[in-house]
A = this chain, B = another copy of it.
Protein backbone atom coordinates (compact mmCIF):
# COMPACT_ATOMS: atom_id res chain seq x y z
CA UNK A 1 0.00 0.00 0.00
CA UNK A 2 1.42 3.34 -1.08
CA UNK A 3 0.97 6.03 1.57
CA UNK A 4 1.71 9.60 0.52
CA UNK A 5 2.10 12.17 3.29
CA UNK A 6 2.21 15.93 2.76
CA UNK A 7 4.00 18.33 5.06
CA UNK A 8 4.41 22.09 4.93
CA UNK A 9 5.88 23.14 8.25
CA UNK A 10 7.99 21.77 11.01
CA UNK A 11 5.32 21.66 13.77
CA UNK A 12 3.23 19.48 11.49
CA UNK A 13 6.10 17.28 10.47
CA UNK A 14 6.84 16.59 14.12
CA UNK A 15 3.42 14.95 14.32
CA UNK A 16 3.79 13.10 11.01
CA UNK A 17 7.28 11.81 11.63
CA UNK A 18 6.50 9.03 14.17
CA UNK A 19 3.65 7.80 11.94
CA UNK A 20 5.86 7.71 8.87
CA UNK A 21 8.60 5.92 10.82
CA UNK A 22 6.15 3.32 12.05
CA UNK A 23 4.62 2.88 8.57
CA UNK A 24 8.04 2.50 7.00
CA UNK A 25 8.85 -0.39 9.33
CA UNK A 26 5.61 -2.12 8.35
CA UNK A 27 5.94 -4.76 5.67
CA UNK A 28 3.25 -3.77 3.22
CA UNK A 29 3.64 0.01 3.26
CA UNK A 30 5.55 2.18 0.84
CA UNK A 31 5.97 5.61 2.44
CA UNK A 32 6.34 8.73 0.30
CA UNK A 33 6.50 12.37 1.24
CA UNK A 34 5.71 15.66 -0.48
CA UNK A 35 7.54 18.59 1.10
CA UNK A 36 6.10 22.05 0.64
CA UNK A 37 5.45 25.43 2.27
CA UNK A 38 7.76 26.77 4.97
CA UNK A 39 10.00 23.69 4.75
CA UNK A 40 11.46 25.13 1.52
CA UNK A 41 11.76 28.70 2.76
CA UNK A 42 15.04 30.37 3.49
CA UNK A 43 13.40 32.64 6.05
CA UNK A 44 12.14 29.66 8.00
CA UNK A 45 15.31 27.68 7.90
CA UNK A 46 14.85 25.23 4.98
CA UNK A 47 13.68 22.49 7.32
CA UNK A 48 13.46 20.20 4.30
CA UNK A 49 17.04 19.30 5.11
CA UNK A 50 15.98 17.85 8.48
CA UNK A 51 13.41 15.74 6.68
CA UNK A 52 16.00 14.53 4.19
CA UNK A 53 18.09 13.29 7.10
CA UNK A 54 15.18 11.17 8.30
CA UNK A 55 15.53 9.19 5.11
CA UNK A 56 11.97 9.19 3.81
CA UNK A 57 11.43 9.11 0.06
CA UNK A 58 10.64 12.71 -0.93
CA UNK A 59 8.65 12.35 -4.13
CA UNK A 60 8.27 16.07 -4.82
CA UNK A 61 9.29 19.44 -3.44
CA UNK A 62 6.55 21.99 -4.10
CA UNK A 63 7.31 25.62 -3.36
CA UNK A 64 4.20 27.48 -2.16
CA UNK A 65 5.32 30.15 0.30
CA UNK A 66 5.30 33.65 -1.15
CA UNK A 67 7.57 36.33 0.28
CA UNK A 68 4.61 38.38 1.43
CA UNK A 69 2.67 39.68 4.41
CA UNK A 70 -0.63 39.77 2.53
CA UNK A 71 -3.52 37.53 3.48
CA UNK A 72 -4.00 36.75 -0.16
CA UNK A 73 -0.67 34.99 -0.29
CA UNK A 74 -1.97 32.05 1.72
CA UNK A 75 -4.71 31.44 -0.83
CA UNK A 76 -2.28 31.75 -3.72
CA UNK A 77 0.00 29.28 -1.98
CA UNK A 78 -2.93 26.90 -1.65
CA UNK A 79 -3.49 27.22 -5.37
CA UNK A 80 0.15 26.34 -6.07
CA UNK A 81 -0.10 23.39 -3.68
CA UNK A 82 -3.16 22.03 -5.49
CA UNK A 83 -1.52 22.29 -8.90
CA UNK A 84 1.69 20.71 -7.69
CA UNK A 85 0.16 17.96 -5.60
CA UNK A 86 -2.14 16.81 -8.36
CA UNK A 87 0.89 16.33 -10.57
CA UNK A 88 2.53 14.19 -7.90
CA UNK A 89 -0.59 12.12 -7.30
CA UNK A 90 -1.06 11.50 -11.03
CA UNK A 91 2.42 10.02 -11.11
CA UNK A 92 2.74 8.04 -7.89
CA UNK A 93 -0.90 6.94 -7.62
CA UNK A 94 -1.00 6.60 -3.83
CA UNK A 95 -3.50 4.33 -2.09
CA UNK A 96 -3.91 6.70 0.80
CA UNK A 97 -3.02 10.33 1.55
CA UNK A 98 -1.90 11.41 5.03
CA UNK A 99 -2.00 14.92 6.33
CA UNK A 100 -2.07 16.75 9.66
CA UNK A 101 -4.01 19.67 10.96
CA UNK A 102 -5.46 22.80 9.50
CA UNK A 103 -2.99 24.56 7.27
CA UNK A 104 -3.05 25.07 3.51
CA UNK A 105 -1.41 21.72 2.82
CA UNK A 106 -4.15 19.94 4.79
CA UNK A 107 -6.78 21.61 2.64
CA UNK A 108 -4.85 20.92 -0.57
CA UNK A 109 -4.40 17.26 0.30
CA UNK A 110 -8.03 16.77 1.28
CA UNK A 111 -9.24 18.39 -1.95
CA UNK A 112 -6.92 16.29 -4.10
CA UNK A 113 -8.06 13.12 -2.34
CA UNK A 114 -11.75 13.98 -2.58
CA UNK A 115 -11.66 14.90 -6.28
CA UNK A 116 -9.28 12.12 -7.34
CA UNK A 117 -10.94 9.32 -5.32
CA UNK A 118 -7.99 8.65 -3.04
CA UNK A 119 -8.80 8.08 0.64
CA UNK A 120 -7.49 10.85 2.87
CA UNK A 121 -6.43 10.07 6.44
CA UNK A 122 -6.56 13.28 8.40
CA UNK A 123 -4.73 13.58 11.70
CA UNK A 124 -5.93 15.92 14.43
CA UNK A 125 -9.34 16.84 13.07
CA UNK A 126 -12.28 17.76 15.29
CA UNK A 127 -10.34 20.18 17.48
CA UNK A 128 -11.95 23.55 18.14
CA UNK A 129 -9.91 26.74 18.31
CA UNK A 130 -12.03 29.80 17.83
CA UNK A 131 -10.91 32.99 16.17
CA UNK A 132 -8.69 31.71 13.42
CA UNK A 133 -9.31 30.82 9.80
CA UNK A 134 -7.45 27.62 10.57
CA UNK A 135 -10.45 26.52 12.62
CA UNK A 136 -12.79 26.80 9.64
CA UNK A 137 -10.24 25.10 7.46
CA UNK A 138 -9.80 22.22 9.91
CA UNK A 139 -13.54 21.53 9.98
CA UNK A 140 -13.78 21.82 6.20
CA UNK A 141 -10.92 19.36 5.84
CA UNK A 142 -12.83 16.93 8.07
CA UNK A 143 -15.77 17.14 5.67
CA UNK A 144 -13.50 16.17 2.79
CA UNK A 145 -11.32 13.55 4.52
CA UNK A 146 -12.23 9.88 4.77
CA UNK A 147 -10.46 8.68 7.93
CA UNK A 148 -10.16 10.82 11.04
CA UNK A 149 -7.34 9.95 13.42
CA UNK A 150 -8.27 12.31 16.26
CA UNK A 151 -5.96 13.19 19.13
CA UNK A 152 -8.52 13.22 21.95
CA UNK A 153 -12.01 11.99 22.79
CA UNK A 154 -13.57 15.45 22.76
CA UNK A 155 -12.56 16.01 19.15
CA UNK A 156 -13.79 12.58 18.14
CA UNK A 157 -17.18 13.25 19.67
CA UNK A 158 -17.34 16.62 17.94
CA UNK A 159 -16.78 15.03 14.53
CA UNK A 160 -19.54 12.51 15.13
CA UNK A 161 -21.90 15.30 16.19
CA UNK A 162 -20.96 17.12 12.97
CA UNK A 163 -22.39 14.15 11.10
CA UNK A 164 -19.23 12.24 10.26
CA UNK A 165 -19.89 8.51 10.12
CA UNK A 166 -18.66 6.97 13.40
CA UNK A 167 -16.63 4.23 11.70
CA UNK A 168 -14.39 6.96 10.25
CA UNK A 169 -13.42 8.41 13.65
CA UNK A 170 -10.56 6.79 15.56
CA UNK A 171 -9.07 8.33 18.71
CA UNK A 172 -5.35 7.56 18.76
CA UNK A 173 -3.96 10.43 20.84
CA UNK A 174 -1.47 12.82 19.34
CA UNK A 175 1.58 11.37 17.59
CA UNK A 176 3.50 14.39 18.86
CA UNK A 177 3.73 12.64 22.23
CA UNK A 178 5.16 9.51 20.58
CA UNK A 179 7.97 11.74 19.49
CA UNK A 180 8.60 13.21 22.89
CA UNK A 181 8.67 9.78 24.48
CA UNK A 182 11.12 8.39 21.97
CA UNK A 183 13.58 11.27 21.67
CA UNK A 184 16.96 10.47 23.27
CA UNK A 185 17.55 12.16 26.61
CA UNK A 186 20.15 14.93 26.74
CA UNK A 187 21.54 16.74 29.77
CA UNK A 188 21.47 20.53 29.89
CA UNK A 189 25.17 20.48 29.22
CA UNK A 190 24.61 18.47 26.05
CA UNK A 191 21.79 20.75 24.93
CA UNK A 192 24.01 23.78 25.54
CA UNK A 193 26.73 22.26 23.46
CA UNK A 194 24.48 21.31 20.56
CA UNK A 195 22.80 24.69 20.35
CA UNK A 196 25.68 26.92 21.40
CA UNK A 197 23.73 28.03 24.47
CA UNK A 198 24.71 28.64 28.05
CA UNK A 199 21.66 27.56 30.04
CA UNK A 200 22.08 26.86 33.78
CA UNK A 201 22.02 23.25 34.97
CA UNK A 202 20.74 23.82 38.47
CA UNK A 203 18.49 26.83 38.22
CA UNK A 204 15.39 27.56 36.18
CA UNK A 205 15.26 28.89 32.63
CA UNK A 206 12.26 29.86 30.49
CA UNK A 207 11.09 29.02 26.98
CA UNK A 208 8.95 31.25 24.81
CA UNK A 209 7.17 30.23 21.61
CA UNK A 210 4.36 32.50 20.49
CA UNK A 211 2.44 32.67 17.20
CA UNK A 212 -0.01 35.12 15.71
CA UNK A 213 -3.77 34.58 15.16
CA UNK A 214 -4.93 35.56 11.69
CA UNK A 215 -7.79 37.64 13.08
CA UNK A 216 -5.28 39.58 15.21
CA UNK A 217 -2.55 39.73 12.58
CA UNK A 218 -2.02 43.44 12.91
CA UNK A 219 -1.31 43.09 16.64
CA UNK A 220 1.65 40.74 16.11
CA UNK A 221 4.31 43.21 17.16
CA UNK A 222 2.47 44.41 20.22
CA UNK A 223 1.57 40.91 21.41
CA UNK A 224 5.14 39.70 21.23
CA UNK A 225 6.26 42.88 22.95
CA UNK A 226 4.05 42.27 26.00
CA UNK A 227 5.43 38.79 26.50
CA UNK A 228 9.02 39.92 26.03
CA UNK A 229 8.56 42.71 28.57
CA UNK A 230 7.23 40.19 31.08
CA UNK A 231 10.15 37.87 30.44
CA UNK A 232 12.51 40.78 30.92
CA UNK A 233 11.12 41.38 34.42
CA UNK A 234 11.75 37.77 35.44
CA UNK A 235 15.46 38.11 34.65
CA UNK A 236 15.82 34.38 34.08
CA UNK A 237 17.71 32.83 31.20
CA UNK A 238 15.22 32.55 28.33
CA UNK A 239 15.13 30.85 24.94
CA UNK A 240 12.83 32.51 22.38
CA UNK A 241 11.87 30.50 19.31
CA UNK A 242 10.83 32.24 16.08
CA UNK A 243 7.11 32.06 15.19
CA UNK A 244 5.44 30.57 12.11
CA UNK A 245 5.21 32.10 8.68
CA UNK A 246 1.55 33.18 9.05
CA UNK A 247 0.57 36.71 8.13
CA UNK A 248 1.71 38.83 11.07
CA UNK A 249 4.39 36.33 11.99
CA UNK A 250 6.93 38.60 10.39
CA UNK A 251 5.87 41.44 12.68
CA UNK A 252 6.52 39.21 15.69
CA UNK A 253 9.92 38.40 14.27
CA UNK A 254 10.62 42.10 13.87
CA UNK A 255 9.75 42.60 17.52
CA UNK A 256 12.09 39.78 18.58
CA UNK A 257 14.84 41.29 16.48
CA UNK A 258 14.25 44.73 17.96
CA UNK A 259 14.60 43.41 21.52
CA UNK A 260 17.36 40.88 20.87
CA UNK A 261 20.22 43.39 21.24
CA UNK A 262 19.19 43.97 24.88
CA UNK A 263 20.49 40.49 25.61
CA UNK A 264 17.92 39.22 28.10
CA UNK A 265 17.04 36.28 25.85
CA UNK A 266 18.50 34.14 23.09
CA UNK A 267 16.43 33.92 19.89
CA UNK A 268 16.62 30.80 17.75
CA UNK A 269 15.23 30.38 14.26
CA UNK A 270 15.00 26.68 14.12
CA UNK A 271 15.99 24.11 16.71
CA UNK A 272 16.55 20.48 15.74
CA UNK A 273 14.05 18.10 17.24
CA UNK A 274 16.19 16.35 19.83
CA UNK A 275 17.52 19.43 21.60
CA UNK A 276 14.07 21.03 21.31
CA UNK A 277 12.39 18.20 23.19
CA UNK A 278 15.14 18.21 25.80
CA UNK A 279 14.85 21.97 26.20
CA UNK A 280 11.21 21.35 27.10
CA UNK A 281 12.12 18.49 29.42
CA UNK A 282 14.41 20.75 31.45
CA UNK A 283 12.67 24.13 31.30
CA UNK A 284 10.86 25.61 34.27
CA UNK A 285 7.95 26.66 32.13
CA UNK A 286 6.83 27.26 28.57
CA UNK A 287 5.34 30.64 27.68
CA UNK A 288 3.47 31.69 24.55
CA UNK A 289 0.69 29.89 22.74
CA UNK A 290 2.25 26.87 21.09
CA UNK A 291 0.11 23.80 20.78
CA UNK A 292 2.98 21.92 22.41
CA UNK A 293 1.90 23.52 25.68
CA UNK A 294 -1.58 22.08 25.33
CA UNK A 295 -0.81 18.70 23.82
CA UNK A 296 2.67 17.45 24.63
CA UNK A 297 3.47 19.43 27.80
CA UNK A 298 1.06 17.42 30.02
CA UNK A 299 3.07 14.28 29.28
CA UNK A 300 6.13 16.13 30.63
CA UNK A 301 4.09 17.60 33.52
CA UNK A 302 5.42 20.95 32.37
CA UNK A 303 3.78 24.21 33.54
CA UNK A 304 2.57 26.32 30.63
CA UNK A 305 1.53 29.97 30.43
CA UNK A 306 -0.75 30.40 27.39
CA UNK A 307 -0.91 34.05 26.40
CA UNK A 308 -3.87 35.48 24.50
CA UNK A 309 -6.68 33.88 22.53
CA UNK A 310 -4.81 31.20 20.60
CA UNK A 311 -5.54 27.72 22.09
CA UNK A 312 -8.50 29.20 24.06
CA UNK A 313 -11.31 26.71 24.41
CA UNK A 314 -9.21 23.66 23.54
CA UNK A 315 -9.29 20.57 25.67
CA UNK A 316 -6.38 20.97 28.08
CA UNK A 317 -4.96 19.54 31.26
CA UNK A 318 -4.31 21.29 34.56
CA UNK A 319 -0.78 22.32 33.58
CA UNK A 320 -1.92 25.42 31.68
CA UNK A 321 -2.57 28.94 32.97
CA UNK A 322 -4.44 31.12 30.43
CA UNK A 323 -3.57 34.83 30.63
CA UNK A 324 -4.25 37.94 28.54
CA UNK A 325 -1.60 40.00 26.71
CA UNK A 326 -0.87 41.90 29.92
CA UNK A 327 2.66 42.23 31.20
CA UNK A 328 1.85 41.98 34.90
CA UNK A 329 -0.50 39.01 34.45
CA UNK A 330 2.15 37.18 32.47
CA UNK A 331 4.79 37.96 35.08
CA UNK A 332 2.56 36.70 37.88
CA UNK A 333 1.75 33.46 36.02
CA UNK A 334 5.41 32.76 35.30
CA UNK A 335 6.33 33.35 38.97
CA UNK A 336 3.65 30.89 40.06
CA UNK A 337 4.84 28.32 37.53
CA UNK A 338 8.50 28.66 38.46
CA UNK A 339 8.53 29.37 42.18
CA UNK A 340 5.23 28.17 43.74
CA UNK A 341 6.00 24.64 44.93
CA UNK A 342 2.41 23.66 45.67
CA UNK A 343 1.40 24.76 42.16
CA UNK A 344 4.27 22.80 40.68
CA UNK A 345 3.11 19.67 42.55
CA UNK A 346 -0.39 20.22 41.22
CA UNK A 347 0.97 20.35 37.66
CA UNK A 348 3.09 17.28 38.32
CA UNK A 349 -0.12 15.33 38.82
CA UNK A 350 -1.87 16.55 35.64
CA UNK A 351 -3.77 14.19 33.34
CA UNK A 352 -2.67 13.49 29.72
CA UNK A 353 -5.74 13.99 27.55
CA UNK A 354 -3.81 13.74 24.27
CA UNK A 355 -2.72 10.15 24.51
CA UNK A 356 -0.12 7.77 25.77
CA UNK A 357 2.59 7.95 23.12
CA UNK A 358 1.18 5.04 21.09
CA UNK A 359 -0.62 7.09 18.44
CA UNK A 360 1.60 6.04 15.55
CA UNK A 361 1.30 2.38 16.39
CA UNK A 362 -2.49 2.66 16.61
CA UNK A 363 -2.70 4.42 13.24
CA UNK A 364 -0.53 1.84 11.51
CA UNK A 365 -2.48 -1.06 12.99
CA UNK A 366 -5.78 0.49 11.95
CA UNK A 367 -4.65 1.39 8.45
CA UNK A 368 -3.23 -2.07 7.93
CA UNK A 369 -6.57 -3.70 8.64
CA UNK A 370 -8.61 -1.63 6.18
CA UNK A 371 -9.64 -2.29 2.62
CA UNK A 372 -9.66 1.28 1.36
CA UNK A 373 -12.49 0.71 -1.10
CA UNK A 374 -15.90 2.25 -1.77
CA UNK A 375 -16.90 1.72 1.86
CA UNK A 376 -14.34 4.38 2.77
CA UNK A 377 -14.53 6.52 -0.35
CA UNK A 378 -18.26 7.21 -0.56
CA UNK A 379 -18.99 9.54 2.32
CA UNK A 380 -22.37 10.30 3.79
CA UNK A 381 -23.42 12.65 6.51
CA UNK A 382 -25.35 10.81 9.22
CA UNK A 383 -28.47 12.98 9.15
Residues from chain B with a CB closer than 8 A to the CB of A83 are 76, 79-80, 83-84
User: Judging by beta carbons under 8 Å apart, are A378 and B130 in contact?
Assistant: yes
For A357-377 the 0/1 string (1 means CB < 8 A from B) is: 000000000000000001001
For A30-41 the 0/1 string (1 means CB < 8 A from B) is: 000000000011
- Of the candidates B65, B84, B162, the one whose C-beta lies within 8 Å of that of A67 is B65
Residues from chain B with a CB closer than 8 A to the CB of A135 are 379-381
Is A198 located at the chain interface by the 8 A CB criterion?
A: no
User: Judging by beta carbons under 8 Å apart, are B381 and A139 in contact?
Assistant: yes
Residues from chain B with a CB closer than 8 A to the CB of A43 are 43, 67
User: Judging by beta carbons under 8 Å apart, are A91 and B59 in contact?
Assistant: yes
User: Chain A at the B interface: mostly helix, strand, loop or mixed?
Assistant: helix
- Of the candidates B87, B116, B141, B162, the one whose C-beta lies within 8 Å of that of A62 is B87
Is A128 located at the chain interface by the 8 A CB criterion?
A: yes
The answer for the CA separation of A363 and B46 in the assembled complex, in Å, is 40
Count chain A residues whose beta carbon lies closer than 8 angstroms to a beta carbon of B.
74
Residues from chain B with a CB closer than 8 A to the CB of A167 are none
- Of the candidates B67, B69, B80, the one whose C-beta lies within 8 Å of that of A245 is B67
Is A336 located at the chain interface by the 8 A CB criterion?
A: no
Total copies of this chain within the assembly: 4
Known contacts A114-B136, A140-B143; is-contact A78 B68 (Cβ 8 Å): no
The answer for the CA separation of A158 and B62 in the assembled complex, in Å, is 38
The answer for the CA separation of A71 and B40 in the assembled complex, in Å, is 12
- Of the candidates B72, B88, B162, the one whose C-beta lies within 8 Å of that of A89 is B72
For A102-134 the 0/1 string (1 means CB < 8 A from B) is: 000001001110111100000000001011010
Is A95 located at the chain interface by the 8 A CB criterion?
A: no
Is A271 located at the chain interface by the 8 A CB criterion?
A: no
Residues from chain B with a CB closer than 8 A to the CB of A62 are 87
Known contacts A83-B80, A162-B162; is-contact A60 B91 (Cβ 8 Å): yes
User: Judging by beta carbons under 8 Å apart, are B128 and A137 in contact?
Assistant: no
Q: What is the CB-to-nearest-CB distance from A62 to chain B, in angstroms, rounded to a whole number? A: 6
Known contacts A139-B143, A161-B383; is-contact A40 B115 (Cβ 8 Å): no
Is A301 located at the chain interface by the 8 A CB criterion?
A: no
For A192-233 the 0/1 string (1 means CB < 8 A from B) is: 000000000000000000000011000000000000000000
Binding site for B on A (CB under 8 A): 40-44, 46, 59-76, 78-91, 107, 110-112, 114-117, 128, 130-131, 133, 135-137, 139-144, 158, 161-163, 214-215, 245, 250, 374, 377-381, 383
With contacts A66-B66, A128-B380 known, what are 13 further pairs, Cβ within 8 A?
A41-B68, A42-B67, A66-B67, A75-B82, A75-B111, A76-B86, A84-B84, A107-B111, A114-B137, A117-B214, A135-B380, A136-B379, A143-B143
